[in-house]
């Protein structure tokens, strides 16, 4: 059976992500063989409708069940319409989530367990104007994707917290490099 697990990494030992629509990676796993494929979430940086787009993508990839920490009403409705059950995970690795599913330990989501837009990161000081909190207003530079919001729930383990913080640090380094590059170009008259 092919299932999908929301993930912060690209393998079975990566930390599972608590977010569905804006998680960085989907790991599709064959529960019989444990063969897997990690795919970047094409909806992660969507301006809106990430949950719907992500759920449609997952269904199109042939997932027969979804394992995630949180699912909003729009994504949940897509899954319900496609007869794809959603199971709730709380931390751990992708492998642990799959094992929990295989042994029947994961609770089934009877409905959405977060409100719409829960993973957008609004109200976290990132700014919701055109500059996206980077001091770049209209006409300065096109916005670049923001890093994923920090998990809503505390990490389940020290390793998960280290992996999550490492990913966030990498995203911030990339963002800083983009800002520094733009600043350098502006200072040189570009």
Any domain includes 170 = no
Angle at 62 between CA 58 and CA 68, to 5 degrees: 40
pLDDT digits (tens, 9 = 90+) for 29-79: 999 999 999 999 999 888 888 899 999 999 999 999 999 999 999 999 999
Reduced to 3 states (helix: H, G, I; strand: E, B; else coil), residue 109 is coil
Q: Is the CB of residue 127 less than 8 Å from the CB of residue 133?
A: yes
Any domain includes 181 = no
Domain housing 54: 2-102
pLDDT digits (tens, 9 = 90+) for 87-115: 999 989 999 999 999 999 999 998 888 77
Alpha-carbon separation of residue 57 from 13, 33, 101 (angstroms): 23, 23, 21
Name which of 18, 30, 164 is nearest 101 in CA terms: 30
Any domain includes 62 = yes
Any domain includes 168 = no
Instruction: Dig out the tokens for 27 from the structure.
Output: 């790991």
Any domain includes 146 = no
| CATH code of residue 26 | 3.30.420.130
Residue 131 has pLDDT above 50, yes or no: no
**All residues at 6 or more sequence positions from 171 whose CB lies less than 8 Å from its CB, including other chains:** 147, 148
The band of 1, judged by pLDDT with boundaries at 50, 70 and 90, is very high
Residue 128 has pLDDT above 80, yes or no: no
């Amino acid at each position: 059976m092919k299932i999908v697990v929301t993930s912060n990494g690209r393998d079975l030992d990566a930390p599972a992500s608590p977010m569905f629509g804006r998680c960085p990676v989907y790991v599709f796993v064959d529960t019989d063989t444990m063969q897997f494929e990690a795919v970047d979430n094409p909806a992660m940086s969507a301006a809106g409708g990430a949950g719907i787009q992500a759920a449609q993508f997952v269904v199109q990839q042939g997932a027969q069940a979804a394992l995630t920490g949180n699912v909003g009403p729009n994504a949940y409705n897509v899954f319900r319409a496609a007869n794809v059950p959603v199971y709730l995970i709380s931390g751990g690795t992708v492998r642990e989530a799959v094992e929990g599913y295989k042994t029947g330990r994961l609770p089934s989501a009877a409905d959405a367990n977060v409100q719409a837009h829960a993973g957008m990161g609004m109200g976290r000081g990132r700014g919701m104007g055109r500059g996206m909190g980077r001091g770049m207003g209209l006409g300065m530079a096109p916005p670049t994707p923001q890093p994923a919001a920090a998990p809503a729930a505390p990490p389940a383990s020290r390793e998960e917290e280290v992996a999550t913080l490492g990913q966030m640090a990498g995203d911030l380094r990339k963002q800083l490099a983009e800002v520094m590059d733009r600043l350098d170009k502006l200072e040189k008259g570009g």
